[in-house]
Chains A and B, each alone.
Chain A
Amino acid sequence: MSVSLSSRRRFLGQAAAVGLVSSWPAWAQDQPAKAPVTPPPPSPDSGPPPDAPSPPVAEAPVEPPPPPPPDPTSVTLPLAGGPKDRPITKDFPQKGMMVLQSTRPPVLETPFDVFDKGPITANSQFYVDWQTGSPPAMVNTAAFRLAVRGNVSQTLSLPLSEIMSAFPKVEIVAVDQEAGNSRGLFQPRVPGVQWGHGAIGNAKWTGVRLSDILMRTGVKPGTIQVRFSGMDQPTPGAPKLMMSLDLAHARDGEVIVAYAMNGEPLPLLNGFPLRLIVPGWYAPYWVKMLNDIELLTTPDDNYWTATAYRVPATLHADVAPGASGYKTAPLSRMVPRAFITNIMPGQKLAPDTLTLARGLAFGGDNGVARVDFSFDGGRSWSPAKLGKDLGKYSFRQWETQFKPAAGALTLMARCTNTSGVTQAETPNWNPGGFARDAIEALDVTVGGDDASQ
């Protein structure tokens, strides 16, 4: 108990040093705020006799932690230009403090300091993204059915209880990243949600294999794609969000229909009650509130699959701004990325002091082989120590130490995955603002009068 309290407080101290405490969710702040246990006042007739030796001094009362600073009301995102400020909101159901990108449809970014807490992103601060309209505000789990139809031997209409009991349970830890994560750093700027780096999260997903459901329904010959859609309805007239996978991918055993996220039902805004999990692929395929699976005999030509989520068919999905006439391909596999999470842009570091750098990396469609760190703007690199491996589709925490000399420094972290793919040195550009994968640069100042540790 005291151990966990003191380690908690030490963590708080660290967090306070980089200004993180204020954006902790309520659940994290409750714990240290508990009043220390004080002994009950001695009752008059059970008190020690006056001449008895004074009892050994009770354990010194734990010093009450300082009151947490007031919650921040806004945050400045590290975008390529204005407007960079966003409100911090706690107004969304089942969500703690989130960066408000759009109220309707709900689009909420994970505050970046959340990523310094470890490789798993808490449900209460997991990012939220809806494309058109808003999700239904009510889900009746007794009436819910997952339809499996189209080119099948037997159409299915599966209640949740059957999905959870009739198929083997599987679990996977996987990064969920919006295709437009970090879009606000694109230069020239492109329209769309101006995300910082927080349209990403990593969770343990529990559910059943899509391949088992397809086995039950019976895939008829001639099936080429499987299309997924959810309970959400678009604004009137707009195309309903549907995404498709090739049949072989849908059957590969890795794609799952999840009913739990980090051991709990999904928050409604993250896709309750069922969400398709497509490990290693961008989030548009991770259809939320999944209630319809359709087996197709012709390529899916719906707007979202055929038009909206396409990227240049070039290395790093990169084209010159304003270019036209290039080939495009459907958005698909993710690529490696790495972030420094314990040092904020513009932070002042102490000179000639051993300094911790820590962050997260993921390998995209494969595991993290290595993370390298540079504190000279990418001229020299040294390997960082990797944390626990939670699976090849998971975030992996990394850390290293460095001793900066006084001056202005650019810190960088670079991930290489187990297929040998590494990050681009220069940022990519495409008109959708998709698939940013460049090595991110973080500028800090070392030394100076007001340098703090």
Chain B
Amino acid sequence: MNSAIAPTLPPSEGALDRRSFLRLSALAGGGFMLGFYLKSAGTALAEEVGAASPGEFVPNNYLRIAPDGTVTIFSTRPEIGQGIKTSLPMLVAEELDVDWASVKVMSAVLDQTSGNPNPQSAGGSTSTPQSFNQMRQLGAGARAVLVEAAAQTWGVPAAECSTAHGEVRHVASGKKLAYGSLVAKAATLPPPTGVTLKDPKDFKIIGTRVSGVDNPALVTGQPLFGIDVKVPGMAYAILEKCPVFGGTAVSANLDEVKKLPGVKDAFILTGVRGVASGVAIVANSTWAAFSARQQLKVTWNEGGGANQSWTEMTRQAQAAGAQAADGDGDVFVGAAKVIEATYSFPYISHANLEPQNCTAHVTADSAEIWVPTQNPPSAVNSVAGATGLTAAQIKVHVTRSGGGFGRRLQTEYAAEAAAISQKAGMPVKLTWSREDDLRHDLYRPAGFNFLRGAVDAAGKISAWRDLAVTFGGGGGGGRGGRGGGAMLLPPGAGAVFAQAAAPGAAGAAPARGGARGGGARGGGARGGGGFPGGFVQNFSTRGAQVASNVPTTAWRAPGDCTAMWVSQSFLDELAHAAGRDPLEFKLEHLGAGPAGAYRDRVIPVVKLAAEKLGWGAKLPKGRGQGIAFSFSHQGYVAHAVEVTVSPAGKLKVDRVVSAVDVGSVIVNLSGAENQVEGSVVDALSTLMFPALNIEKGRIVQSNFDEYELLRMPDAPAKIEVHFLKTNNGPTGLGEPAFSALAPAVCNAIFAATGIRVRELPLSRTSLKWS
């Protein structure tokens, strides 16, 4: 590995020590077994800056304790704004029984060699459920060794010792020893054979409000992000790609561009694995690269995607919808009331505020990269694919990410940076422009849902059919990520292709569906599972796909983020069709559904949100209440909202009450509330503003003037978050609170105005009333 480069970033980065590694394995049937295995020293990562100092106690790869008592905890999960760099170390510190103020948190480089049972990735709100007990055991194991060290020093049984505030105490004699004074002895002791975790009632750190560990650096502008990286000898690069997905660069005025001020090199990249064809410019500053790009003239082979348009895709989706009734049979015959509705939502971008970027230094036999990513192992694959190097030759530094939202699970920008560095023969930082980011994202899938529902004479839902039309099958323009849908359609598209009607399994908490992140999922209905599947008679979903090569991937609460809007809005429509109070109607249908975790957990959050809002208040026209619920990414959430719509159609969300069940423990109360608040406002933003249009195979929008997101004046005045603690394992919060917000607001808009919003974004529907 090339270790000559001393990055200015990330400043806090250190290596995981190789000397030992703690392996944890969960045993079925309860309880955890702790086992250590020693890792040999001498791997590349052992040379990293930050290797343990002599005299430190290094019980495992995640933790060091210095003789002065300083506790260093390595954060292995990428920080993308979800607060994991703070919350997971809190778990270690809690069980180690040290004061949070004595803890220093450092980012870890990607550990490719350990067989790490704790993945170094961040996605799907999985970090907390996967790591909650692992992190606690890391702390508890180290604590056990320190207790043993003290017990041997005093010649007393370890069982007579206790810990608190970074000290071991012998209760009977009143003796105390600080952890720092025990590290030399602890380092000589064998690992513990088992550990006992704290009773949650004894938690001192878990459940408190802890300010993010990077906050002091963030508010003083210190380098933390990928785009802040600077390494010696580094050049600055751009990559101009074909505006049409799947198009390739044929030729460019490279000789002219190379003569421009500050330009070091310019070349066509094509046929590089994992890299969209384009033209790279390498310069001595970001601005020199951006400026030279203005003079770049490229001849493209736009390929077959150049005829795509959103108008045509919409037409084909509507044509597919015309066949929606084909499979209905006679389930709607004899219903008291039948309603039909078409819901639609556009492609949108992740729009991470930090544009995609990566710094790469590729040599003949090594690559070192600094990358903002949710998925460091994927970055290794991207770089290996682009350069021909092996994974063992690639070192990945994971920086803080300026937003994730699923986008940074894909790492093609790392492949691009590596390919440019390799060809230019120097370290480069590749920076995407905002325009690149909007036009070369992998998007949230667009979709149409054609719904038909019926209520019987008793006011109960008697049938619910949903045809979900997605877009995809065109290979995503040769890009990574997932296609817009699961199956290819014959040319001409539009035919209904699949039956996917199995109702949700009764009983146990529903598993996630198989169509994660891809197209609008069947029916907009199953989502993360649960209602209406298994709760509604004659429920069926089918799918159809319209051909598209627009690349898509996971977008915050993938699938659920649109599916819940559709199903929870339509449920509200059925309640009104039945002439019932929506809350009563929803609770009645949930209560009559199959017993099990879903029913047991979703009903209480619905009731709590409604109660805290003051459901049923008499409001004048123009004001209304709405409620919606979801099970998404293992969390149960209900949002109850109150809105005002002016006669001119201006929406103001006055109040949001969120009831959230993510299990028995909230790790960091501040961070958890922040995730819910952010999910609420992000979901409101996504409801109100963003949409991408496609013409001639190109994304039309280019920057935030055309691609709008919510700004402060439209943020709700008040968001109240209520955590309902239940006897279930703690689960994540990056996504669960997103999906029920938009339907809650739309249901409130209907209550206020009688106008039903069936097309996203909201700006396409006039909310004027008189």
Answer yes or no: are A and B bound together in one complex.
no
Using CB atoms and an 8 Å cutoff, list the residues of chain B in contact with chain A: none
Q: Which A residues lie at the B interface, using CB under 8 A?
A: none
